[in-house]
Structure 1
Amino acid sequence: MEFGFGAEDAVFRQEAREWLRERLGGRFSGVVGKGGAGSEHVGVGERRAWERELGSGGWIGLGWGDGGGGGGGRRSSYGNRSVGLTQQVVWAEEYARARAPGRCGHIGENLLAPTLLAHGTEEQRQRFLPPIARGEELWCQGYSEPGAGSDLASLRTSAEPGRDGRWRVTGQKVWTSLAHEADWCFVLARTEAGSVRHRGLSFLLVPMDQPGLIDVRPIRQLTGTSEFNEVFFDGAVAADVVGGVGDGWRVAMGLLGFERGVSTLAQQVGFEEELRGVVRDAVATGALGDSVLSGELVRLWAELRVMRWNALRTLGERGGEGSGEGGGAAEGVGAASVAKLLWGGWHQRLGEVALRVRGARGAVSGADWGVDSPYELDARQRLFLFSRADTIYGGSDEIQRNIIAERVLGLPRAEA
């Protein structure tokens, strides 16, 4: 597939740009540029309202599948507009360029929804997709556990069937993004007693509003904020099983294929804006005259261009895999792992250069950098601190290299 933008995409881009300009210039102007990495705590109430605004405009779920309206004119029975892959990219790019608020609902829209479309029943789709499309229900992901982060197959959270036919979940999850705001959690749990590794797992949908049965404890990060959480389940009731009992590993791995697709391009637009900010700092501080630093900035710029071309090429070759239009092939998994290796290390180096550009003053927080409190971090400091985790979360670099080696290159599995 040759990936490129056409005349219809240009019309769609103008529509998206005007809609964002109008909405972000009014009620939601206070959360423009807010809610990103390291500032997830800012304007949560308004950003939840923003999710509903996106839903009313039909901008949630553009990549879920065919609603029968080329160009997004008609909506499916789930409430989403249907657009092609290039227009999904257009929307993601314009959203990032407009500095629209950090999304509260991206886990439901970009992870759960494609998983239900691929593995769920029609009853499950009709129950869960419309509230996501309206921006009304938020989701979190219950995968990682203490001792079972990168090695997810060693998880110990279990679920037992109750007399009413529903499952009772017991165990602990960790690094659960936005669990303190979520209405629902999709949980990978062991439903077959005595099973090991990939066998005997199920993909469960758990409502978070279960006082006494679910305890959410925020994890304070280097940035001082708490996007991540520990979640304790003590007999919590699961509403549904997706893909069948015992088939959770296949469903979970399918979901990870959706995690990196069109959204990667929007992420790169955000990276581009961060890089521009660092360049502005280099001009203001005189650091641009340092040949080593200026060389590193040029290298970062060139590598960002390469990442974009790689992402566009990969989307074209996969025909949309990773955005709800397919997925699961070894080469698709390998492409996602390559992309994660590229951007994780790149973003980390950008954070390091951002502080080097400022010199010793970069280590001092306060009003010098345009923030309100002497103890408040500014955008560049948050970038440096938050990006320390980029090579760990979402699959560590070591795991990504193992995936490429074993599932793409066919090399033997590394022994512990």
Structure 2
Amino acid sequence: MNFELTPDQRMMAETFARFMDERSSSVHIRAAADNNGFDPELWQGLAELGAFSLRVPEDQGGLGLGIMDAAVLMEEAGRTLVSGPLAETLVATRVLALLAEKTHGDLLEAAIMGNSVLSIAYHNVAEQKTQWVAGGAVADAVIARDGDQVALYLLNKDASRFEKNLASTPIAEIDFSQCERQVLAQDSAGLKVFNQGLEEWKLLIAIALSGLSREAVRLASEYACERHAFGQAIGSYQGISHPLADCIVEIDGAKYLSWKAIHDIAHNLNDAGAEISMAIWWAADSAGRAVTQSLHTFGGYGLATEYDIHLYNLRAKAWPLVFGDPTRFLEEAGRRLYAAEVVDLPDTGEVAIDFDLGEEARAMASELDALFNKILTPELRAKAHYSFDGFDAGVHKILAENRFLFPAWPKEYGGREAEPYVASALSRVWEKQGWTGHPASTTMLVGTMIRKCGTDELKQEVLSKIVSGDAICSLGYSEPGCGSDVFAAKTKATPDGEGWWRIDGSKMWTSGANIAQYVLMLTRTNPDVPKHKGLTMFVVPLDTPGIEVQAVHTFQDERTNVTYYDGVRIPDKYRLGEVDGGVKVMAAALELEHGGGFMKSQFAMTEAAEALCKQIKVGNGTLLDTTDAQKRLARSKLHAYIGEVIGNRALWVGVQGLTSKAYGPMTKMFSSEKFQSDSRDLLDLTAPHSLSDREGPAGELNLAYRHAHGTTIYGGTSEVHRSMIAERALGLPRTRG
């Protein structure tokens, strides 16, 4: 797996960043607004840096670089609100080079040198003689599809009508019937080249919008740290920080979904064409939210033209809307996924980014998959459930014997010393098989804490049972009335004779306590110090006298528990870490929890909805044949893809030992929130059939809706994760006491 640009691309990014900071500052942007939104000096400088030759083949005078190289440029162009039709010109120069370098070499050379401006028309001129064109006010020529031909239209004053517009960009409405027309190609090969160019344009605009959005949120975050109200920085208020946290996650999603599309095109993967449409729709949609929230952060000052934030707000709408309503892209993704719409995929060139987990991961995942297929009888599959309710001691034992319970652990502790990519691949097999991972993951967390902080005696007694598959564990963090504030624990642990402790109190949401052998418990051992101090962690045997487990049934069709501890006496060997040092132990435990996501559940839910749509009759077809269903299913799949790619980013950063800016919490928060919102939407889409709990896709969708609500709470609520993202990714002040 690789999320890093090549050395050449990093150097290119730095070069373009320096140039754009100097030549595309807000001063230059405002000046360009008085010149039809175009900056000739900026354009000439870009040409001198080789920008317009990036995608032109080497044998035709260009640099012959790939789409990822062009994406590097477009991200910087978006960040600095480039004044000119850059994405369109990059595409147009490539199309002209591929179709008519011999007949229009002078025009191609002029465009590469920055002496002429080329643009593209998005729609078939045979169907729309008059249409809006990016850069139409300053372009010398436009390349367009005209029926079965690709033509070059030379612009003139009669054909181009520039007028004042939303963001002061050089757009113009072009009447192509008034232009001199020169045929570039009149065969299917020529149309393919042009169509590939349009697909490339979508990716380049998506990347530019992600760069624009990121800078808008950066400006807002910077302002939120400087601006004070009621005695503190406004960024410390969750009403400011949490929406910005949502925005930066969505912006990362836009960037990496575009990367995924480029990667999948290069590897000829099935959904690559749909991912292009998804990427530009998501980038446009999320950019709209990001710039609106960023401007709102400035309050009234955001409305003042002396502040730059309004420039980002207007440009975020201007770039994609010249094509038309961005919802068309989501509809297009739906057709490509569900109506077999064929798309001409662009030639990406070399792509160094990689989302593959590797051969070792595939081999071990295949081994686990085969084991599940061997041991999961029809009776066991019928018992399967996503929660602790799906636990089976026999299956758990077999998985332990085959060293699949804790594959990342050392071999001496029953593991396989699996690298993180391998462990990730194995977890995906659990999801694919529909077998609950809660008992194993919770027990792994407790076992890890014992390995790190437990005494030799505790390791010998408890860890050995965990390793052999003879014990599972539950978590005793939350308490009635404390919610996500686990450090407000009131359950007391007091010395009770030499080497003994007495525990009194209660714990809420101790899932699995009714079948587990141990509970990892946070207790208060010193009430006279601040709440984050005076806490101690214990591993408590659940068969100890004085423990009562009462069922709490949730509407998610699962059981959890409230547990009571009345005079529970345990020896000191069950203590983890130092007395009053529970925060350190807890912090390590929470770090293990604050990652991962629910993308597999999202994919499974979407697949169930697809199946149900095929069953529901509408007119002479099915619900899946309708544009609305295709669009909504595509959106759900899009969200799952984003969760997957930002989850891969978090995994890669961990493997590389790089600083994580709350990438795990980003994955968990985004995937759980979208799982919840999409479950509502797909339940609506397939109603009233989705109300049934019958076996099959209706029942699966029904359960997915109920399951999704808990995912925004597990391992810390979305609000907790938003605070972490705001602080670590945006540098905002702490929003928690």
TM-score, L = length of structure 2: 0.48
Shift of 1:258: 1.0
The DSSP-based 3-state class of the residue aligned with 1:232 is strand
Structure 2 residue 387 is matched with structure 1 residue 54: no
The 5 Å alignment of 1:345-364 reads 345-364=673-692
In the alignment, what sits opposite 1:280?
A: 611
Deviations 1:356-407 (A, max 9, x none): 1321243344xxx338xxxxx9322222123223222321122211222235
- Mapped partners of 2:373, 2:456: distance in 1: 36
In the alignment, what sits opposite 1:16?
A: 368
Among 103, 106, 129, which residue is 2:441 paired with? 106
- Mapped partners of 1:288, 1:190: distance in 2: 56
Structure 2 residue 652 is matched with structure 1 residue 316: yes
Are the equivalent residues in 2 in contact too, given 1:120–1:242 (CA < 8 A)? yes
Structure 2 residue 506 is matched with structure 1 residue 175: no
Measured at CA, do residues 50 and 234 of structure 1 come closer, stay the same or move farther in structure 2, by a change above 3 Å? same
Are the equivalent residues in 1 in contact too, given 2:474–2:510 (CA < 8 A)? yes
Structure 2 residue 567 is matched with structure 1 residue 235: yes
The 5 Å alignment of 1:209-288 reads 209-211=543-545, 213-226=546-559, 228-239=560-571, 240-261=574-595, 264=597, 267-285=598-616, 286-288=622-624
- Mapped partners of 1:40, 1:155: distance in 2: 24
The 5 Å alignment of 1:5-404 reads 5-24=357-376, 28-32=377-381, 34-37=383-386, 40-41=388-389, 44=391, 47-64=392-409, 67=410, 75-76=411-412, 78-101=413-436, 103-109=438-444, 111-211=445-545, 213-226=546-559, 228-239=560-571, 240-261=574-595, 264=597, 267-285=598-616, 286-319=622-655, 332=660, 334-365=662-693, 369-370=694-695, 378-404=699-725
Deviations 1:85-126 (A, max 9, x none): 2221222222322333555333112x1122223333444334
Measured at CA, do residues 254 and 54 of structure 1 come closer, stay the same or move farther in structure 2, by a change above 3 Å? same
Percentage identity across paired residues of the two chains: 24
Ranked by relative contact order (alpha carbons within 8 Å, sequence separation 6 or more), the top structure is 1
Are the equivalent residues in 2 in contact too, given 1:56–1:134 (CA < 8 A)? yes
Are the equivalent residues in 2 in contact too, given 1:391–1:397 (CA < 8 A)? yes
Shift of 1:199: 0.5
More deviation, 78-87/299-308 = 78-87
Are the equivalent residues in 2 in contact too, given 1:119–1:242 (CA < 8 A)? yes
Shift of 1:308: 1.2
In the alignment, what sits opposite 1:324?
A: none
In the alignment, what sits opposite 1:326?
A: none
- Mapped partners of 1:332, 1:415: distance in 2: 20
Gaps of 5+ in 1: 68-74, 322-328, 372-376
Shift of 1:40: 4.6
Measured at CA, do residues 225 and 93 of structure 1 come closer, stay the same or move farther in structure 2, by a change above 3 Å? closer
RMSD of equivalent CA atoms: 2.6
Gaps of 5+ in 2: 3-354, 617-621
Shift of 1:224: 4.7
State the AA in 1 paired with 2:562.
E
Shift of 1:159: 0.5
Measured at CA, do residues 401 and 14 of structure 1 come closer, stay the same or move farther in structure 2, by a change above 3 Å? closer
State the AA in 2 paired with 1:99.
G
- Mapped partners of 2:564, 2:531: distance in 1: 21
Shift of 1:41: 3.5
Shift of 1:169: 0.9
- Mapped partners of 1:380, 1:124: distance in 2: 43
State the AA in 1 paired with 2:550.
R
Shift of 1:290: 4.2
Measured at CA, do residues 168 and 410 of structure 1 come closer, stay the same or move farther in structure 2, by a change above 3 Å? farther
Are the equivalent residues in 2 in contact too, given 1:32–1:101 (CA < 8 A)? no
The DSSP-based 3-state class of the residue aligned with 2:676 is helix
The DSSP-based 3-state class of the residue aligned with 2:451 is helix
The DSSP-based 3-state class of the residue aligned with 1:105 is helix
The DSSP-based 3-state class of the residue aligned with 2:553 is coil
Rg larger for: 2
Are the equivalent residues in 2 in contact too, given 1:159–1:170 (CA < 8 A)? yes
Measured at CA, do residues 63 and 260 of structure 1 come closer, stay the same or move farther in structure 2, by a change above 3 Å? farther
Are the equivalent residues in 1 in contact too, given 2:384–2:435 (CA < 8 A)? no
Are the equivalent residues in 1 in contact too, given 2:723–2:736 (CA < 8 A)? no
Are the equivalent residues in 2 in contact too, given 1:281–1:357 (CA < 8 A)? no
The DSSP-based 3-state class of the residue aligned with 1:206 is strand
